[in-house]
Amino acid sequence: MEKEKLSRPVEPGGTQGPELKSSYPYLSVRKIAIAGICGALGVVLAFTPLGLIPVPNLSGAATTLHIPAIVAGVFAGPVVGAFTGLILAISSWILYAGSFLAFAGGNLLVALLSAFIPRLLIGVLAYYAFRPFRSHVLGAVLASLVGTLTNTVGVLGILYLFGDPAMRPALLPIILLNPWVEIGFALIVLVPLVLALRRILPDVISH
């Protein structure tokens, strides 16, 4: 009888398991919670002035919308990072579909690609930039850099290359200035967060 008890598989999420598991493959309860928190934060940033920081160029503002996707990717992996990026993409499309279409010269496919593809990749690429250096501050720096450039250069680059050529002179100053401001904001958030969690919840960083 004792041998039979010991031979039973550990139940995911049960008292024997080290971490609660959801019914979705590769997604723990912790990761789902991070996805919910970061997704909600992304919506708040999108629909409030907190998501746009004034800068002196034609765009008028640099965005902080990419930060929740970077955080989600770093702390919960590429799947959660992509999910959070999808929420950001949908929010951006709801608010700025007209702007995307204008820069795309009315081409709906180009507008959708620029609005969605880079946002889906923010957390994914940030995760892979962070993971090899997760024991060092360099990991947070690289995740901020890669995640931000994926967003800014990805969105604006698609519009520049495949959108309306007449809009390129307006896009170029944005491409040259905004990424540095947005990288700075990502660093301000991510580096202290990684350092704090390394002390409080080291297992979150190590996985």
> Is 117 within a domain?
yes
For 90-138, what is each residue's pLDDT tens digit? Answer: 998 998 899 999 999 999 999 999 999 999 999 999 999 999 988 788 9
- Low-confidence spans in the chain with pLDDT less than 70: 1-27, 55-61, 200-207
In a domain, 149, yes or no: yes
Establish if 25 belongs to a structural domain. no
The answer to whether the beta carbons of residues 51 and 45 sit under 8 Å apart is: yes
Query: Does residue 9 form part of some domain?
Result: no
Full residue range of the structural domain in which residue 179 is found: 31-206
| Residues across the chain | 207
Q: Is 190 within a domain? A: yes
CATH number, position 187: 1.10.1760.20
Looking at the domain assignment, is residue 120 inside a domain?
yes
User: Is residue 5, in this structure, part of any structural domain at all?
Assistant: no
- Distance, in Å, from the CA atom of 199 to the CA atom of 181, rounded to the nearest integer, reads 28
pTM as predicted: 0.79
Residue 64, pLDDT score? 82
Task: Please give the distance of CA 89 from its chain centroid, rounded to a whole number.
Answer: 10
Beta-carbon contacts of 173 under 8 Å, excluding residues fewer than 6 positions away, are 57, 58
Please give the tally of structural domains in the chain: 1
Q: Is residue 2 part of a domain?
A: no
Categorise residue 46: left if φ over 0, alpha if ψ from -120 to 50, beta otherwise: alpha
